[in-house]
Amino acid sequence: MQVGDIEIKAFTADHLAAAIRLSQEARWPHRREDWQVVQQLSEGVVAVESDGTVVGTALVTPYGPDCATINMVIVDSTMRGRGLGRRLMDAALTIGGTRPLRLIATSDGLPLYEKLGFRETGTILQHQGIVASALSPANTQSATADDLPAITVLDRQAFGADRTALMTKLFEIGEFSVIRHDDDITGFACIRAFGRGEVIGPVVASNAEDAKLLVSHFLAQRAGSFVRVDTTGAAGLSDWLSEHALSHVGGGIAMSRPLPIPSATSTATTFALANQALG
């Protein structure tokens, strides 16, 4: 098959089975449900051979006019190094339009993204494992549906863009813990089924101690279960996660195009991502 014969088409739910095959081949843990979540929140493209075989994917998840993440960029291993990744990314950049763009790069993707003008903004550390022993959380509560607006505002302060659609979806499929001071929510964490078990994130708090309490809220209920956390290098949670049997197993490079302009400081800080695709 000549790469020139491959068409770039819109990604639809009909492409999910092929997309799962590609992510499994790349050793990513995404289940059909995980692909569905990102597909429902995104617009994207597939690379398709003339016989209909899907040999590449790229999705763009818009967060209002302020930002979009590019994710799920995969080329069939037998077709790499022939310009398909570049064609998928060109299509993704068109979908992203004028929005500032973010992504988490693997070592495979890094050279391509650098050529396209993305620059490193930080590191992402993937921690995971079987939760060893129960922790005793304090000062945390389970969120209710009434907390969604306040949680969405806190997420926007930490992330720098409005992720209402994502937060609403996470409320549908996951659980949230919160820290309240009087009537205000000052931190939250989400847990949901993902990949081999569950993922905790986003985690947003005003300091690392609160972030640990919010994560502990879930770890306390999950001794013996597989849990993953994608934290940032800057968050300072890595050693603590390792001490709780969530080992550092990999990660990625956070990149932006253009580099973000530092904004007014908010005390809300992201300590863990929803996952590497969604930021």
Ligand X SMILES: CC(C)(COP(=O)(O)OP(=O)(O)OC[C@H]1O[C@@H](n2cnc3c(N)ncnc32)[C@H](O)[C@@H]1OP(=O)(O)O)[C@@H](O)C(=O)NCCC(=O)NCCS
Residues near ligand X (CB under 6 A) = 26, 73-75, 80-86, 105-106, 108-109, 111-112, 115
Least separation in angstroms between CB 208 and ligand X: 27
DSSP state letters, the chain: --GGGPEEEE--GGGHHHHHHHHHHTT----HHHHHHHHHT-EEEEEE-TTS-EEEEEEEEEETTTEEEEEEEEE-GGGTTSSHHHHHHHHHHHHHTTS-EEEEE-TTTHHHHHHTT-EEEEEEEEEEEE--S-----S-EE--GGGHHHHHHHHHHHHSS--HHHHHHHHHHSEEEEEEETTEEEEEEEEEEETTEEEEEEEEESSHHHHHHHHHHHHTT-TTSEEEEEEEGGG--HHHHHHTT-EEEEEEEEEEESPPPP-S--S-EEEE-S-TTT-
When the beta carbons of 64 and 111 are compared against ligand X, the nearer one is: 111
Q: Identify the CA nearest to 241 among candidates 214, 267, 268.
A: 214
When the beta carbons of 81 and 224 are compared against ligand X, the nearer one is: 81
When the beta carbons of 86 and 196 are compared against ligand X, the nearer one is: 86
When the beta carbons of 112 and 148 are compared against ligand X, the nearer one is: 112
Least separation in angstroms between CB 37 and ligand X: 17
For β-strands 197-205 and 269-272, DSSP reports them as antiparallel
When the beta carbons of 22 and 191 are compared against ligand X, the nearer one is: 22
Measured distance CA(159)–CA(157) in Å, rounded: 6
Cα dist from 238 to 211, 228, 229, 232, 247, whole Å: 12, 12, 10, 8, 9
Measured distance CA(276)–CA(219) in Å, rounded: 21
When the beta carbons of 1 and 223 are compared against ligand X, the nearer one is: 1
Least separation in angstroms between CB 198 and ligand X: 22
When the beta carbons of 6 and 215 are compared against ligand X, the nearer one is: 6
Least separation in angstroms between CB 151 and ligand X: 28
Least separation in angstroms between CB 261 and ligand X: 24
Least separation in angstroms between CB 241 and ligand X: 22
When the beta carbons of 45 and 135 are compared against ligand X, the nearer one is: 45
Q: Give the nearest residue (CB) to ligand X.
A: 85
Least separation in angstroms between CB 8 and ligand X: 12
Least separation in angstroms between CB 86 and ligand X: 3
